[in-house]
Amino acid sequence: MSKEIISMHEDEVESISSPYIDLTHEISDEEQQRRDASWSFKIRKFFWDGTGKHPKEQQYLAKLDFFLLTSSCLSYFTKNLDQTNVTTAYVNGMNEYYNMNKNQYNCVVSMFTIGYIIGQIPSNLLLHRVSIRYYLGSLELLWCFLTLIMIAVPPQHINGLYAIRFFAGMTESAFFPCLEYLLGAHYSAAEISKRSAWLAISGSLSGIISGPLQLAIIRRFGDSRMPPFK
């Protein structure tokens, strides 16, 4: 009986004309030299290293970039936007609303940085002991909640603003290590550097967008009951 099963399995394997993903997709040396020498190929290869790979591998890498890399870049952009929004809000009405001086503004910024530094070590230790999908998702929900309740801090309780920014820094401290962990788990060593570069670029763009975005919000909601900087 066992011999018959093995024989049937061998017949099924032999009946398959090609594997599901054939990474032995080859072209002639002449075609490869001509392709590698073209400027269009070099430019496409510079921006996306999936160029020149097997079509099945290109398809897989494109899906991975579209879903994982795009969502990671958007999330990192949003995190950095929140990290720098206090600076923009301070010069657009926050200082007058809370009657803040420069020392109080420095305290708001410093409390976020202190929380960010303190949260680095425990966040990296927990990263290897808790499922990242639950860990990162929970931290992001908590970070969003802390960002939203900043709106409710009254002018006479600026100490509450210090506390919120401290815990916001702690929750955001795990975000970048989690993203690099995710990217490193899904991309090869040759692919990870370019994805990390795109991630860093998305974070830097937040500093460029923050000012114009705040200006557009102030112009649009300048007459609202809530202070526009919020």
Dihedrals phi, psi of 215, to nearest 5 degrees? -65, -40
Please write the tens of the pLDDT for every residue from 155-184. 888 888 889 999 998 988 888 888 888 888
Dihedrals phi, psi of 84, to nearest 5 degrees? -105, 0
Whole-angstrom distance, CA of residue 166 vs CA of residue 200: 24
Across the chain, mean pLDDT equals 79
Q: What is the pLDDT of residue 13?
A: 41
Sequence ranges of the domains in the chain: 59-222
Please write the tens of the pLDDT for every residue from 191-227. 888 888 889 998 888 878 877 887 787 777 766 677 7
Helical ranges in 1-156 per DSSP H: 2-15, 29-37, 39-47, 55-64, 70-89, 95-97, 102-127, 132-149
Task: Write down the number of H helices and E strands in the chain.
Answer: 11, 0
Q: What is the pLDDT of residue 160?
A: 87
- Maximum C-alpha span of the chain: 87
Closest to 101 in 3D by CA, of 116, 87, 90:
90
Assigned token pair, 113: 């940085």
Q: Does domain 59-222 have CATH number 3.20.20.70?
A: no
Please write the tens of the pLDDT for every residue from 70-103. 999 998 898 888 877 887 778 777 878 888 888 8
Please write the tens of the pLDDT for every residue from 1-19. 444 444 544 444 444 444 4
pLDDT category at 115 given cuts 50, 70, 90 is very high
Q: Does the model's pTM come out above 0.95?
A: no
Q: What is the pLDDT of residue 18?
A: 42
Whole-angstrom distance, CA of residue 51 vs CA of residue 82: 35
Please write the tens of the pLDDT for every residue from 20-66. 444 445 666 676 677 667 777 777 777 777 767 777 888 888 898 89
When pLDDT is averaged across residues 123-134 and rounded to a whole number, the result is 85
